[in-house]
């Protein structure tokens, strides 16, 4: 993959906490890698990093399907370890096992208006995508508040996320400012989103974002035949009907992926020229993309198979990480309860 890093490693500081998470609504895909995982691999070298499997957030739209969420906790954990998230450098934990996050969420709900929640552009978009109307739940509408608790309970300052998460960080910082002002103490610090240069990988269908729930994702765990099928049916230029026709490069998903994943950008430039001129078929391009993706995915798949065969080890890593996180969470909550005058029995 091309250089996609935005972390300034000169600012190395083990005291700075980085946090991100993923919803266990499916295994992780190329969009996660580009938008967030690649950054986390660098961050773990220089910061104190926590990575959260956001099962509570997954339940906001999968509450009727708890088995799916449960199964995907393991899938997501295996994806982390397969891409190189190192449990010795990064603490991985499960959101629902940290009750302090839920407690903090309840306190934060008083600091946000319903109107503000309805204005969050990412949530607005997701409400449309999921077809929610009168059946929109309070849990879904309020998930950015829970996310503010996720970020702040551990006092995270650096959040390596995709572009869709910027409104969440903005909302988190509003809550941080309100909390500190109302309770008269600098308990929390504002967080900074660390957005990758390629902030959003489009879906294989050409839509703006690859998403696990959108049916347009290439998963890190997809076997070769599935990758081949997905790439072969990828969106290109709908007006490029015959090989001889001139084709459009802009908005052509195959080229967008080649731009990101192909190490030989000189050849990609030549292919673009040829495609624009006409005489270059989609199949040639797609075959090249398959090869490029296979090179990237093969070692991940191998590591992942080993991990899936040792689920106990993976669960042990999650348990240790969760225990460690809970201790930190309790420290923050003691401060919170104290400034909120809730420390009755100290
Ligand atoms: P869902 O469809 O269930 O919401 P998702 O694919 O959006 O799943 P999340 O777990 O919501 O995945 O997102 C986890 C992280 O990955 C976030 O930081 C998000 O910004 C990033 N991310 C997800 N999809 C992409 C993408 N297509 N491009 C870049 N970053 C992405
Ligand atoms: Mg999402």
Domain count, the chain: 2
Domain match, 115 and 248 both: no
- The predicted pLDDT at position 346 comes to 81
pLDDT at 130 over 80: yes
**For the segment 167-223, what is each residue's pLDDT rounded down to a tens digit?**
999 999 999 999 999 999 999 999 999 988 887 899 999 998 999 888 999 999 999
Instruction: Give the span between the Cα atoms of 209 and 32, in whole angstroms.
Output: 11
CA 59 to ligand 2 center in whole angstroms = 12
- The predicted pLDDT at position 245 comes to 93
Domain match, 39 and 139 both: yes
Ligand number nearest to the C-alpha of 35:
1
Domain match, 89 and 105 both: yes
pLDDT at 6 over 80: no
Domain match, 233 and 322 both: no
Residue with tokens 């903005």: 170
CA 118 from centroid of its chain's CA atoms: 22
Instruction: Give the span between the Cα atoms of 345 and 158, in whole angstroms.
Output: 34
Which ligand 1 atom is the nearest neighbour of the CA of 198?
A: 29
pLDDT at 49 over 70: yes
CATH number at residue 49: 3.40.50.620
- Ligand 1 lining (C-beta closer than 6 Å): 20, 22-23, 25, 31-32, 34-36, 161-162, 164-165, 200-201, 209-214
Domain match, 332 and 279 both: no
Span 321-325, mean pLDDT? 98
Beta strands in the chain (DSSP E): 17-22, 48-53, 90-94, 158-161, 192-195
Domain match, 250 and 316 both: no
Ligand number nearest to the C-alpha of 129:
1
Which ligand 1 atom is the nearest neighbour of the CA of 61?
A: 3
Domain match, 244 and 126 both: no
Domain that holds residue 270: 224-306
CATH number at residue 263: 1.10.240.10
Which ligand 1 atom is the nearest neighbour of the CA of 165?
A: 20
């Amino acid at each position: 993959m091309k250089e996609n890093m935005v972390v300034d490693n000169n600012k190395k500081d083990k005291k700075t906490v980085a946090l991100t998470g993923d919803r266990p609504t499916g295994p992780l895909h190329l969009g996660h890698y580009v938008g967030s995982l690649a950054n986390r691999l660098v961050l773990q070298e220089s910061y104190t990093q926590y990575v959260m499997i956001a099962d509570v957030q997954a339940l906001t739209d999968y509450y009727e399907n708890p088995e799916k969420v449960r199964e995907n906790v393991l899938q997501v954990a295996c994806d982390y370890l397969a891409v190189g998230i190192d449990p010795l450098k990064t603490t991985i934990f499960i959101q629902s096992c940290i009750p302090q996050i839920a407690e903090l969420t309840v306190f934060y709900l008083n600091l946000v208006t319903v109107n503000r929640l309805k204005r969050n552009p990412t949530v607005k978009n997701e409400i449309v995508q999921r077809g929610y109307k009168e059946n929109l739940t309070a849990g879904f509408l309020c998930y950015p508040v829970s996310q503010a608790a996720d970020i702040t309970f551990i006092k995270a300052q650096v959040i390596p996320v995709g572009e869709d998460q910027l409104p969440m960080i903005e909302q988190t910082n509003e809550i941080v400012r309100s909390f500190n002002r109302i309770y008269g103490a600098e308990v929390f610090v504002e967080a900074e989103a660390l957005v990758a240069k390629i902030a959003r990988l489009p879906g294989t269908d050409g839509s703006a974002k690859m998403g696990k729930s959108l049916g347009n994702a290439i998963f890190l765990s997809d076997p070769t035949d599935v990758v081949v099928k997905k790439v072969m049916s990828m969106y290109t230029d709908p007006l490029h009907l015959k090989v001889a026709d001139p084709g459009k490069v802009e908005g052509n998903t195959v080229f967008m992926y080649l731009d990101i994943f192909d190490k030989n950008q000189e050849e990609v430039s030549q292919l673009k020229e040829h495609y624009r001129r006409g005489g270059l078929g989609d199949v040639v391009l797609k075959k090249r993309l398959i090869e490029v993706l296979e090179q990237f995915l093969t070692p991940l798949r191998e590591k992942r198979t080993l991990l899936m065969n040792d689920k106990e080890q993976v669960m042990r890593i999650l348990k240790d990480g969760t225990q460690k996180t809970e201790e930190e969470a309790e420290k923050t909550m003691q401060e919170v309860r104290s400034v909120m005058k809730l420390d009755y029995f100290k």
